[in-house]
Amino acid sequence: MLRRIAILLCLLLTLMSSNAIAQVRKKPAPKPVAAAAPTGPKKTRILFLLDCSGSMLANMDGDSRMNVAKRLLSELIDSLSTKPNLEIALRAYGHQSDRTEADCYDSKLEVGFWPKNTTAIKNRLKTLQAKGNTPISYSLEQSARDFPKDPNAENLVILITDGLESCNRDPCAVAAALRSKNINLKPFIIGVGSDADFKTAYSCVGQYFDAKSAQGFKSVLRKIVRQTLNKTTVTVSLLNHVNLPKETNLNMSFYNAQNGEVIYDIVHYLDGRGLPDTLSIDPAITYNLVINSIPAVEKKNVVINAGMHNNISVKVPQGNLMVTHPLSSGYGKTLPVMIRQGKNLLNVQAINTPQPYLMGTYDVEVLTLPRTVMKNVNIQGGKNTTIDIPGPGLVNITDNVAGYGGIYEVREDGQEVLIYNLSRGSRVSLSIQPGEYKVVYRSAKAINSKFTAVKYFTVEATGSVVDVTLF
């Protein structure tokens, strides 16, 4: 009997100890969220993430920032109650523990995404009190778990705060980690009574808005919701040499300006009326837009204004370059044409094929024998530039005695350039461009270099035949 009483006492003490430990706030375990129904129109879900830290007690237009935020949020929520395919929820942070407790897990989903919850959100807003710290990073992490699993929905977080992270964490790193895991969140940040440092601190998290007064706060709130619910469209106008949007059929890449990730790859299109097609582009991201002309053109930090039509204009004035050559005369079916600007190789172009380039000057090199090089070729916008390269002649070189040597081009300025090394003891037929040349050759049996022989020859024109006999 005594043994049973002792066991019961031990169990009671254990339960009391566990209960006492539970009173100390710990990082809550992730909670599962039910998957959304797969049917019906695409939903938009907005999570309001409200800062209830002690600094929200500061004055704004004769009232506390906290009261202004609660009042304006309540008004906004009323106006959203009749919007179709829209669900809203409320998470707060800094409202459960005093600032002195330095509670970095003080964040809670107060009202989740469920139908007709506007009254519940408004009632909870009335009771929230500002008093604690600012665990923004932790709250953003938890926000990702607040949304139902619905790959077709648009999930947005509207973060309302008057302070920076107070828990020695980096909101930018958290936002980047969420993106790297393909967690579909689009944060908007409203800085309430903030200073210039806020935009720098939060621009990496999402789109930042400044609200220094109650009226400014109200305008920003409504602007964000209007942008979210109204359709966002984008056209890209590619301007030609007279600034008309007539350029087209170019590949366009939209890069995330924060991390360099390619978000969209699109080939530009003009319809039968000469108008660019309308694109659907996520407005929550700032982009670097690259038009993949030759060379490419980049427009940095492109901001898409949500809820309205946006037109992005980029100057890409192009002209065509074609290098012609009678391919049947010696070089086979292909003859590469290398296009350079300075030291940069921009393109290897096919012979006898037009290729558009941006207006400017280029160096053109054709892989004939010897190479045909033309410096500072000017490409004009809206025009075709054609370069005609003559076909080669045929040079037959016969050496009756094995030896060593090479063929040199003798240029008009007197410079002599080696263009071909002769193999020992060979007979060779070469397609060589019209011009002046010489062969320098020494027999393998010669006892010293003074027996080197030099023979000059000329390739007169396309199709001419020259026979050069060595020893």
Average pLDDT along the chain: 85
Total-model pTM: 0.63
CB atoms within 10 A of CB 119: 12
Q: What's the average model confidence in pLDDT over 281-300?
A: 94
Domain boundaries, the chain: 38-229, 233-315, 318-388, 393-469
CB atoms within 10 A of CB 226: 12
Could you report the per-residue pLDDT of 179-204, keeping only the tens digit for each? 776 666 678 888 886 666 777 777 78
pLDDT at 127: 94
pLDDT tier, 426 (very low <50, low <70, confident <90, very high otherwise)? low
According to CATH, the topology of domain 393-469 is: Immunoglobulin-like (2.60.40)
At the topology level, CATH places domain 38-229 in Rossmann fold (3.40.50)
Q: How far is the C-alpha of 386 from the C-alpha of 352, rounded, in Å?
A: 9
Token pair belonging to 210 = 């400044």
Decide whether 38-229 matches 393-469 in CATH topology.
Answer: no
List the CATH code of the domain at 233-315.
Answer: 2.60.40.1120
Provide the phi-psi class of 469: left if phi over 0, else alpha when psi is between -120 and 50, else beta: beta
How far apart are alpha carbons 170 and 179 in whole angstroms?
15
Question: What whole-number distance in Å separates Cα of residue 150 and Cα of residue 6?
Answer: 53
Give burial (CB, 10 Å; 0-12/13-18/19+) of 347: middle
pLDDT in tens, 33-60: 333 344 456 788 999 999 999 989 989 8
* Cβ proximity of 315 and 356 under 8 Å: no
Rounded distance between C-alpha atoms, residue 119 and residue 122, angstroms: 5
User: Does residue 103 or residue 425 have the better pLDDT?
Assistant: 103
Listed in order, strand segments (DSSP E) in 52-119 are 59-60, 63-64, 86-93, 107-111
Closest CA to 434 of 397, 390, 467: 390
Residue 23 has pLDDT above 50, yes or no: no
pLDDT of residue 193: 67
How high is the pLDDT of residue 172? 86
Quick one: pLDDT at residue 184? 63
**Residues of the chain above pLDDT 90, percent:** 51
Best CA proximity match to 326, nearest among 337, 335, 317: 335
What is the C-alpha to C-alpha distance for residues 313 and 276, in angstroms, rounded to an integer? 11
Model confidence at 357: pLDDT above 80 = yes
Give the span between the Cα atoms of 323 and 391, in whole angstroms: 12
- Tell me how many helices (H) and strands (E) the chain has: 7, 28
Predicted pLDDT at 8: 37
Q: What is the CATH number of domain 318-388?
A: 2.60.40.1120
